[in-house]
Structure 1
Amino acid sequence: MSNVFVKSEFAPLKRVVMAQSEFAFPSKEDSGDEEFLTEESKDLYKGKDILGKNYREVFPERQKAWEDERDNLKKVLEKYNVEVLMPRLLTDYEKEMGKEDGYSNFFIRDPFFTIGHLLIEGSLRFPHRRNEILPVRNILAMESDNNKCLYLSIPKPDISKGHYSEEGPFLEGGDVLVLDKTLFVGRSGLASNGNGIRWLRNLMSNFGYKVVEVPLHHTILHLDCAISLVREGLMIVCEEALLDGIPEQFKDWDKIHVTLEDASRLATIGLPVNENVYITDHEFKFIGDELEKRGVKVEYVDFKISRSFGGSFRCSTQPLLRSDFE
């Protein structure tokens, strides 16, 4: 059996890549890369000398707390016998090359994603994230060498009109939800775009997959900020964030609803370990309570620092193996 296969968002998680905790601010102001952040997160940086600096330099205590959060998540995953792999750290050269736009190695969900037996490198919209694939490439190469899987990459984004050209193609893992042979892909204008979704639809049609585009509210970064598939027939959803409403495939599902404000605080970005266990933040105990009423065990991990960067549990992980097979 291959050790690379993702059947769905909630199939038993057995192998996963978990993010490192590296970030640096751009050396210029008004990068336009923080529209989706909460005001609380933006306020952290007001009045601070941050331009061109590593997060560790400016916020050493928060950096330590951030690393602790990821360690605590790793412990919970290993408690359920999940194998956890981590990308390498950025090299000094990579950091130097990223000084102008800033650099990141902090949310592994977006640079690549796994669908069935396919490992797919994405194409990220924000310039400071476009090299985020590099620290994990050795893992992807090793996995493709050792397993029956395909390793592909979407074309690099067009920059004919500058870094913020809208052509793309852009396709980010946070926008891609897998449900057997149906893929749901979000598009808000902040991440994945029409050209990226078209590329994925053309590719996956060769493997019997259907791609459903899901238009999102303009403040929602990724589809996983609006939908979490907990198990077959149960979802957490922010209906206000879905411009065309909840996709028809979920019309008969049991739904735990959250507000747009909750979604902006990343209430839906928990992580199913399997259909019976779900990881979320203490901040969202109201969701945990609803899950427990439905027989789901909830594991709580404080993820406040990670959430201040605009990502949470799902963003910090990318599965290599989610399968019912033993």
Structure 2
Amino acid sequence: MLKLNIKNETSRLRAVILGTAISNGPTPKAEDAYDPKSLEHIKAGTYPIESDMVLEMEAVAKIFDKYEVKVYRPELIKDFNQIFARDIAFVIDDVLIKANILPDREKELDAIQYVIDQIGPTKVVSPPEEVHIEGGDVMLWNDHIFVGTYKGSDYSDYITARTNIEGVNFIKEMFPNKIVKEFDLVKSRIEPRDNALHLDCCFQPVGKDKGIIYKSGFREESDYMYLVNLFGKENLFHITREEMYHMYSNVFSISENVVISERNFTRLNDWLRSNGFTVEEVPYAEISKQEGLLRCSTMPLIRD
């Protein structure tokens, strides 16, 4: 039996689901792209190839092994993208919440059913149909739950708008004892540099009191200021538009002082080290071409 426990983003990791790039399928057609960054690389002929992405994910698996983290991988679906484990479900406290994801991704949930079967049935929740919510938009910070959303009236026109206000309200009702704070994110179907696909594309806490943030990812300055006031401006590493595009805020914490980061994120990695973090660098630039990085491809189940 798996006893889930996730209260924040940075406590010592014990068990995680890591996606897989094996049998990832052919390069999608432009009209099938889920996000503007994938579309950009499909059109440019630079869309990542399977063998490169498999190597990148294995580098992460090796680091989990080094830190004695129990790793679950999805069962393989032939010719299907199963990299982004964070999209399909997420854990709050001791409850696993299934995401209502894009319908053609339902199979991804079936591929982790063997893990879900190890969780007590009362601890697995499927939200009602009108609730849209994805794990990349849900971020735990002790007594807070941060939720990325999109409040524009054109929500349904945006395949990049993944969590709706019904999703925010669902979390508020499920966790009445938590401070649930939603953030209205900037979306674009055509320009990846102006598209915060999920909250973790423009913000993520690290350590005990620090965070990585992209100010222009928030539609409302008051949302950005909420985080500045909570964390303190001196504790936030501000990233540029280009750094946001390369997914600088999408690192992944193994503990309060160990962070897995992309090896090319020189400015960020220097800042992390200067603040006392151990930085485990991995190659992940190919996977980032699909507008997802380390946090997107991991789904923590147990932290101390």
**Residue 105 (structure 2) pairs with residue 122 (structure 1):** no
Q: CA deviation at 1:266?
A: 0.8
Q: CA deviation at 1:144?
A: 2.7
**Alpha-carbon distance between aligned partners in 2 of 1:267 and 1:128, rounded to the nearest angstrom:** 28
User: Could you tell which deviates more after superposition, 238-247 or 106-115?
Assistant: 238-247
Q: TM-score, normalised by structure 2?
A: 0.85
2:4 maps to a residue whose letter is: V
**Alpha-carbon distance between aligned partners in 1 of 2:214 and 2:11, rounded to the nearest angstrom:** 22
- Kindly report which structure 2 residues correspond to 1:201-212, keeping only aligned pairs within 5 A, or say none: 201-205=172-176, 208-212=177-181
From the CA coordinates, give the structure whose radius of gyration is larger: 1
Q: CA deviation at 1:13?
A: 0.7
> Which of 107, 110, 131 is the matching residue for 2:84?
107
1:214, 1:247 within 8 Å by CA — same for their partners in 2? no
Which string of whole-angstrom CA distances, capped at 9 and with x for unpartnered residues, describes residues 194-227 of structure 1?
122222222222xx12211101111110000011
**Alpha-carbon distance between aligned partners in 2 of 1:40 and 1:203, rounded to the nearest angstrom:** 39
Q: TM-score, normalised by structure 1?
A: 0.80
- Kindly report which structure 2 residues correspond to 1:155-304, keeping only aligned pairs within 5 A, or say none: 155-156=128-129, 168-188=130-150, 189=155, 190-205=161-176, 208-218=177-187, 219-245=195-221, 246=224, 248-251=226-229, 252-253=231-232, 254-304=235-285
Instruction: Name the structure 2 match of 1:163.
Output: none
Q: CA deviation at 1:41?
A: 5.7
1:287 maps to a residue whose letter is: L
Instruction: Name the structure 2 match of 1:76.
Output: 63
2:13, 2:300 within 8 Å by CA — same for their partners in 1? yes
1:80 maps to a residue whose letter is: Y
1:41, 1:308 within 8 Å by CA — same for their partners in 2? no
Task: Determine helix, strand or coil for the equivalent of 2:183.
Answer: strand
Task: Determine helix, strand or coil for the equivalent of 2:8.
Answer: coil
If each structure's helix is expressed as a fraction of its own residues, which one has the higher value? 2
Instruction: Name the structure 1 match of 2:117.
Output: 141
1:37, 1:264 within 8 Å by CA — same for their partners in 2? no
User: Could you tell which deviates more after superposition, 15-24 or 67-76?
Assistant: 15-24
**Alpha-carbon distance between aligned partners in 2 of 1:152 and 1:175, rounded to the nearest angstrom:** 17
**Alpha-carbon distance between aligned partners in 1 of 2:72 and 2:2, rounded to the nearest angstrom:** 17
Instruction: Name the structure 2 match of 1:150.
Output: 123
| Ranges in structure 1 where 5+ consecutive residues have no aligned partner | 47-58, 96-102, 157-167
User: Could you tell which deviates more after superposition, 241-250 or 76-85?
Assistant: 241-250
Instruction: Name the structure 2 match of 1:17.
Output: 17
Task: Determine helix, strand or coil for the equivalent of 1:69.
Answer: helix
Task: Determine helix, strand or coil for the equivalent of 2:120.
Answer: helix
Which string of whole-angstrom CA distances, capped at 9 and with x for unpartnered residues, describes residues 8-53 of structure 1?
000111111110114346987624622254734642269xxxxxxx
Q: CA deviation at 1:81?
A: 1.4
Which string of whole-angstrom CA distances, capped at 9 and with x for unpartnered residues, describes residues 236-293 of structure 1?
1001111223252542430111012211221110011111111111121110001111
| Ranges in structure 2 where 5+ consecutive residues have no aligned partner | 156-160, 188-194
Task: Determine helix, strand or coil for the equivalent of 1:211.
Answer: strand
Q: Tell me the percent identity.
A: 25
1:38, 1:265 within 8 Å by CA — same for their partners in 2? no
User: Could you tell which deviates more after superposition, 187-196 or 6-15?
Assistant: 187-196
Q: CA deviation at 1:76?
A: 0.7
2:3 maps to a residue whose letter is: N
**Alpha-carbon distance between aligned partners in 2 of 1:70 and 1:32, rounded to the nearest angstrom:** 21
